[in-house]
Every structure is written in C-alpha cells, then in structure tokens.
Amino acid sequence: MNTPVYLDNQATTRVDRRVIDAMIPLMDEVYGNASSTQHEFGWRAEAAVAQARRRVSALVGALPEEVIFTGGATESINLALKGAARGDRARRNRIITAGTEHRAVHDTCTRLEAEGFEVIRVPVDRYGMVDPDDVRRAITPGTILVSIMAANNEIGTIAPLEALGALCSERGVLFHSDATQAVGKIPIDMHAMHIDLLSFSAHKMYGPKGVGALAVRAGRPPIRLIPLLDGGGHEKGIRSGTLNVPGIAGFGVAAEIAAAVMPGESRRLSGLRDSLVEGVNEALEGVRLNGHPTLRLPHNANILFPGANADAVMMAMKDIAISAGSACSSASAEPSHVLRAIGLTPQETLCSLRFGLGRFTTEEEIAYTIGRVNETVRKISRKINQKTNQKTEMRRANAAPAH
C-alpha cells in the first residue's frame, strides 16, 4: 500500500488509465481541429468528438445533440444560470436556489443578484435536504429558474430531483441541477427527472480536468441561453472556442466506463464507506455522520469528531489525504456554509472531516485509515482535555482565597 492514501475524491479523481490511453492519440496523431471540415485531420477529430458526445449524453439520459461541451462544471453552471437569466430578463427576474450549493452556483447567483435579479435561497433540513414544498411556495409567475444540486459535495446528500423537476415543469419554470458529484456515481436521467439544464464535469468521474458539459433539454418550450463566450460559433453558437478534443474524448471514455461499472462500484464503495464509519464510531466517543443517513452518495462520509479540530487532525495525519469541508472553501478559514446550514455550531463545523472514497480506494487503505483516525483523534482530544483541565485548575487556583 502506498501513502499518502487518497481519500479526497470529491475534490477530484485520478484519471482512469483507460481514459489516458484513449486521449494520447488525440494529441499526437489525430491532432486536427474538429471544426476543420475540409480535410482528414478535422474529420477524424470531429468523429472523436461525436463519439464522446454519444457516450456522455447516454450517461445522463440526454440526446447527443443536447450536450454542449465546456471547460468544466463551473463554466457549465455559469452558462446555464447567467445564460437563462439574462435571456429572460425582460419578462421575469426570480431565481430559486438552496443555501447549500457549491460556490459555482452560489457565487453566480450572487453576481446575478448584483445585476438586479432576485435570488431566493430556500433552507434545508438537518440532513441537507431541500423540501420541494418550500420550492413550490417560492415559485411566482416571475420565476425564471430553480437551481438545486443533485448531490452535495461536502455531505453527499442526494436531492429529490424527480419531485423538484416535476413541479418546475408543471409551473413552467426551468430546472437546473449541478450534478457534478452525482453523474457517474448514481443514475441520472435528465428527461425522466424533468431536468432542463444539467451541469457536470469530467474530473470528478475519473476523466481529465478542464472539460465538462451542459446538457440543455431540446424540445418545447425552447430554452434560450445567452452565451458567455462569443467567437467562432462552436457548439451551436452557445459556447465558442476550439473544442478540447483530447479532453472531450477522455470525458467520453470516462462516461462509458462509469455507466458500465456504476452498480458494482457503488456497492463496493458504500460497503467500504460503511466500514469506515463503523470503525471510527466503535472506537471513538460521540462520532456523528453529517448528512443524510441513507439518501447519500455511496462514496462519501462527512464525520464530526467532537473535540478534535479538523485542521489539527489533518496536520497530524499527513499520510491520509482528506479535507475539512470542501476543497474550495477550506482555503478560506470560514466554517463550511453547508455544515452551518444543516445546523452544526461553528465549533462542530471545525471538527468535521470529509472522506471521499473512489474507484481506486482499497480495503487495505480503509483499514489503515480507521486505525490512523482513531489514534490521531484520541491523541488530539486528549490534548484538548488536558488543556481544559489545566485551565480549570488555573481558574480554581486563581479563585482560591489567599491565606
């Protein structure tokens, strides 16, 4: 077994070897521009993109022509939200989202708020679950769209997508879902779930970084998106820029693999995840699983270790790569907005760690992790207890009357 053990698969994943193998020829032999329609180099690149489009669309129940390739989920989300909102500005101005979204959605909504749109953030329950009735009540005739993530990147809670989609379509409101953590891990069918706009990314599912997709439902009523990028008119004029052919082809292979292995992989990873949670729960006092007990991603565990500061645990355990909160928000020392939204105290959010298992996680690594976590958390909470005891003693000594 090699250390450090990688358990940060919600931040990014290792690229599958089969994906790398498929990408290499698209850099050194088939290096044409997919838009060059006059020669063999262009045709072969275009064929690779078309094949990837079929594979990626199939994974989410979309038609190939509904997929727009982008530079990642952040871009897809910006295109979906800004594109739809700015396209509808003359008629409507409300956007509904939740308080536990990834910053790509949260900050895009804040930007739109500054442009004059009204953003309603519905609350979540203590598991991070959105109540479709709250969304229903927030919808007005002036509502453009609802954006709710498919699965949370910190706590893994899976949203009631079908119910949300059905109510949006009933009310004539667009439904966007940031499905970056869900696609390739749990079944997503954008048509069955009434999702109009679906954002996702290759690097969260064993594909390369810097490539993603926005699936835009075809059919009536048509969805009008104002592009973020103007230029050569690629991707039906919605996303100009020379296509990242190797990245897109890699995304396609990653999608095909994910579809094939999903049931077995999710069973294996949820088994390992459960053994990790049980392993620390048996050994340590007061451990709690953050997020929904059952409606959660198979490979995620976000665990609260009362009295053990997460940063201190990570510093003392450099042989295990995990994260506190999300990778993006842990750069700022702010307590996680997701953990705050599900009712944790600021202190509790600072004592929570995210374990993200993945395709390459082994049983041996999980056994090792259980041992290291138990040992480290015990040591750190003992230190804290000693400090508290010292403080109490000092206070007692100070309070003691002088003889």
Active-site residues, by number, are 328
CB 227 within 8 A of CB 79: yes
Nearer residue to ligand PLP within complex by CB, 93 or 147: 147
Contact pick of 45, 73, 223, 342 for ligand PLP (by CB under 6 A):
73
Helix (H, G, I), strand (E, B) or coil at 5: strand
**CA–CA dist 248, 213 (Å, integer):** 9
Nearer residue to ligand PLP within complex by CB, 16 or 46: 16
Binding-residue pattern over the window 14 to 53 for ligand PLP, x denoting contact by CB under 6 A: ----------------------------------------
Binding-residue pattern over the window 89 to 108 for ligand PLP, x denoting contact by CB under 6 A: -------------x-x----
Say whether residue 148 binds ligand PLP (CB under 6 A): no
Closest by CA to 13, choosing from 250, 187, 202, is 202
Contact pick of 16, 46, 178, 235 for ligand PLP (by CB under 6 A):
178
Q: How far is the CB of 53 from ligand PLP (least distance, A)?
A: 18
Contact pick of 34, 124, 149, 188 for ligand PLP (by CB under 6 A):
149
Say whether residue 204 binds ligand PLP (CB under 6 A): yes
According to DSSP, the residues that pair with 68 across neighbouring strands are: 214
According to DSSP, the residues that pair with 321 across neighbouring strands are: 6
Nearer residue to ligand PLP within complex by CB, 201 or 376: 201
Q: How far is the CB of 151 from ligand PLP (least distance, A)?
A: 7
CA-based R_g, the chain, Å = 23
Q: Are strands 94-98 and 118-122 parallel, antiparallel or unpaired?
A: parallel
Q: Are strands 197-201 and 5-6 parallel, antiparallel or unpaired?
A: unpaired
User: Which amino acid belongs to residue 251?
Assistant: F
Q: Please choose, out of 177-185, 239-247, 312-320, 350-358, the segment that lies near ligand PLP by the rule CB under 6 A.
A: 177-185
Q: How far is the CB of 178 from ligand PLP (least distance, A)?
A: 5
Say whether residue 153 binds ligand PLP (CB under 6 A): yes
Say whether residue 341 binds ligand PLP (CB under 6 A): no
Nearer residue to ligand PLP within complex by CB, 44 or 204: 204
Helix (H, G, I), strand (E, B) or coil at 321: strand
Dihedral Cα 105, 218, 134, 121, nearest 10 deg: 20
CB 150 within 8 A of CB 161: yes
Nearer residue to ligand PLP within complex by CB, 53 or 102: 102
- Which residue blocks in 96-155 are alpha helix, DSSP H? 103-114, 132-138
Nearer residue to ligand PLP within complex by CB, 178 or 265: 178
CB atoms within 10 A of CB 117: 20
Under rule CB under 6 A, which residues in 102-141 are in contact with ligand PLP?
A: 102, 104
Say whether residue 74 binds ligand PLP (CB under 6 A): yes
Say whether residue 336 binds ligand PLP (CB under 6 A): no
Nearer residue to ligand PLP within complex by CB, 283 or 295: 295
Say whether residue 376 binds ligand PLP (CB under 6 A): no
Q: How far is the CB of 391 from ligand PLP (least distance, A)?
A: 40
Helix (H, G, I), strand (E, B) or coil at 61: coil
**CA–CA dist 57, 263 (Å, integer):** 19
**CA–CA dist 324, 350 (Å, integer):** 8
Q: Are strands 300-304 and 320-321 parallel, antiparallel or unpaired?
A: unpaired
Contact pick of 57, 181, 302, 376 for ligand PLP (by CB under 6 A):
181
Say whether residue 212 binds ligand PLP (CB under 6 A): yes
**CA–CA dist 4, 34 (Å, integer):** 40
Say whether residue 201 binds ligand PLP (CB under 6 A): yes
Say whether residue 83 binds ligand PLP (CB under 6 A): no
Closest by CA to 317, choosing from 2, 57, 4, is 4
The token pair at 35 is 């838009």
CB 130 within 8 A of CB 121: no
Nearer residue to ligand PLP within complex by CB, 212 or 246: 212
Using CB under 6 A as the binding criterion, the count of chain residues that bind ligand PLP stands at 14
CB 63 within 8 A of CB 57: yes
Question: Which residues make up the interface to ligand PLP (CB under 6 A)?
Answer: 72-74, 102, 104, 149, 153, 178, 180-181, 201, 203-204, 212
